[in-house]
A and B are shown apart, each in its own frame.
Chain A
Amino acid sequence: MNNQNPIPPIPPQVPPPIPPVMPASGPRSLGDDPAERAAIPNIIVAIEAILRQPRRVMFQLRQPGAGWLIAAMLFVSVLCSLMYGVVAGTFSGGTQLWAAPVKIAAGLMISALICLPSLYIFTCLGGSQARLVEVSGLLAGLLMLMTILLIGFAPVAWIFSQSTESLAWMGTLHLIFWFIATVFGLRFLETGFSHSNARSLTGFRTWVVIFMLVALQMTTALRPILGTSKTFLPTEKKFFVAHWGDCLKGHDEASKSESQ
């Protein structure tokens, strides 16, 4: 049969592009993902980023002009800790409605300031290449994440504040919330340092213990945050373990006298 109409060749199908092979070992470097390189223009984006894209925050802290981001994070931390302080102050009411927020915000900032030099030293000793500005920024990130989470706990804290009269119980509850929030904040900080070519995180982990102790002692140094007092600050110096022991003893005695 005559083939007057030659069959045109079937054009070869263009195969789909093969996606690049991701390196099997090692974490991705900061900035590899284009989403991480997007600038953080305002506070709301900073809050969203620290929850959903922490690597973006870490990357932006390394860029020139990170100062405004650090200032924004500190501003959010102060604001959120003031708000949480109001919730904590509703337990006792009265002057605690303004004293508790001031003490919580100031205590947090002062604790961070006290611990910042040792954080820089310990991370340098661990081989981290992070500069002081970046270290300050990561610490500000920790504070922001901590205080944002405390705002998340605020409704729960408020419910309990309105329904219980036990100082020891409310103190324990606030400490538990603070601890959980701090764990997430420290996770952010540790991840930040793991991207700074640190050879070892042992020094950082030692610093974590120091930071927790300073923060716990600050709650005692600025007491009362719950409860009432004639003076704004305590007249007697105490370490936090002794103070907790005294509070628990007082709680036990109150329970025994109630049951009698």
Chain B
Amino acid sequence: MPAPSGKLNLIEISVLLRGEPERIAAWAGQWSARRLALPVIVIIVGAGLYGAAMGWWRDPQQAFYVAIKFPLIILLTTVGNALLNAMLAPLLGLNIPFRQSFSAILMSFVIAAAILGAFSPLLAFLVWNAPPMSPEAVSGATYSFIKLTNVAAIAFAGAVGNARLFQLLTRLGGRRAVAFRVLFAWLAGNLFLGSQLSWILRPFIGSPSLPVEFFRTTGLRGNFYENVFHSFLQILQQFD
């Protein structure tokens, strides 16, 4: 890998995607504000394009909103959990400084965002071929198909990002067991915070019966886990 310069280098993204352990470890060990600009830009552009494709089915305005919200969730999750993740790593056996843990998590989100950005034309094509969003379409197979496609794409991108993160942590810590513990802890924390941020910032795909808004006014009422818990109780009550 060429010696780090202050300039943005798109080749670094392909290095991250290819998962070359030495290069990724060197990348994660370097810290400079300018070097962090490229990952942030990739997250904004990649996740933004994907978010736009997601929201486009409802309305172009929805596309614009989701193009802002999706990268925002990723960045807020990374920053919001940065301190916690930095503390968990040494506690679980991986003695890396704050900068390195932050770079590692950012790297995994960069990979996921690059993959989502690459998938965005495919999602846009799928949405273009779907009938316009209507109450009938939402209750039918089309909505389910689009929803499942989104889930599959995001799951794939997340899985690859975490796989690369695991490779990096193994290289930094030298032991797979330590890397697995740290990864699991980081994942749990990021999923916990990320789910709530997604709950607050909904909608993403949108609903035909509700107006297009940046986020619902009811978004700050209740939370994701409360909602899951109530749904769970309702199911149990069915069996009483």
Interfacial residues, chain A to chain B (CB-CB below 8 A): 113-115, 117-118, 120-121, 124-125, 127-129, 131-132, 210, 214, 217, 220-221, 236-239
Contacts and interface: CB of A to CB of B under 8 A. Distances in A.
26 contacts: A114-B122, A114-B124, A114-B125, A115-B122, A117-B117, A117-B118, A117-B121, A118-B118, A120-B14, A121-B118, A124-B17, A125-B17, A125-B18, A125-B19, A125-B115, A125-B160, A129-B18, A131-B11, A132-B14, A210-B122, A214-B125, A221-B129, A236-B131, A237-B129, A238-B129, A239-B129
Contacts of B121: 113-115, 117-118
Contacts of B131: 236-237
B122 A121 contact: no
Interface string B1-21: 000000000010010011100
Interface in B114-136: 114-115, 117-122, 124-125, 128-132
Contacts of A221: 128-129
Nearest to B137: A237
Contacts of B132: 237
B125 A121 contact: no
A118 B18 contact: no
A239 to B, nearest CB: 7
A114 B120 CA distance: 9
B129 A120 contact: no
A53 B161 CA distance: 38
A121 B160 CA distance: 11
Interface residues of B, number: 21
Contacts of B115: 121, 125
At the interface, is chain B mostly helix, strand, loop or mixed?
helix
Contacts of B124: 114
B130 A127 contact: no
Contacts of B129: 217, 220-221, 237-239
B82 to A, nearest CB: 27
Nearest to A125: B17
Contacts of B11: 131
A118 B125 CA distance: 13
A180 to B, nearest CB: 24
Nearest to B125: A114
A124 B18 contact: yes
A46 B121 CA distance: 30
Nearest to B115: A121
B150 to A, nearest CB: 15
Contact of A237 (B17, B118, B122, B130): B130
B63 to A, nearest CB: 17
Given A214-B125, A237-B129, A121 B18 contact: no
Ranked nearest first, the 6 interchain pairs of A and B with the lowest CB-CB distance are: A124-B17, A117-B118, A121-B118, A114-B121, A118-B118, A237-B131
Contacts of B160: 125
A107 to B, nearest CB: 11
A127 B19 contact: yes
A127 B15 CA distance: 9
Of residues A114, A129, A221, which shows the largest number of chain B Cβ atoms within 10 Å of its Cβ?
A114
Contacts of A125: 17-19, 115, 160
A121 B17 contact: yes
Given A121-B17, A221-B129, A237-B131, A214 B122 contact: yes
Nearest to B116: A121
Contacts of A120: 14, 118
A220 B126 CA distance: 12
A128 B17 CA distance: 10
Contact of B14 (A115, A124, A236): A124
Contacts of B122: 114-115, 118, 210, 214
Contacts of A129: 18
Given A115-B121, A120-B14, 17 more contacts: A114-B124, A117-B117, A117-B121, A118-B118, A118-B119, A120-B118, A125-B18, A125-B115, A129-B18, A210-B122, A214-B122, A214-B125, A220-B129, A221-B128, A237-B128, A237-B132, A239-B129
Nearest to A117: B118
A14 B141 CA distance: 80
Contacts of A210: 122
A120 B14 CA distance: 9
B141 to A, nearest CB: 10
A121 B114 contact: yes
Interface in B76-129: 114-115, 117-122, 124-125, 128-129
Nearest to A121: B118
A114 B119 CA distance: 9
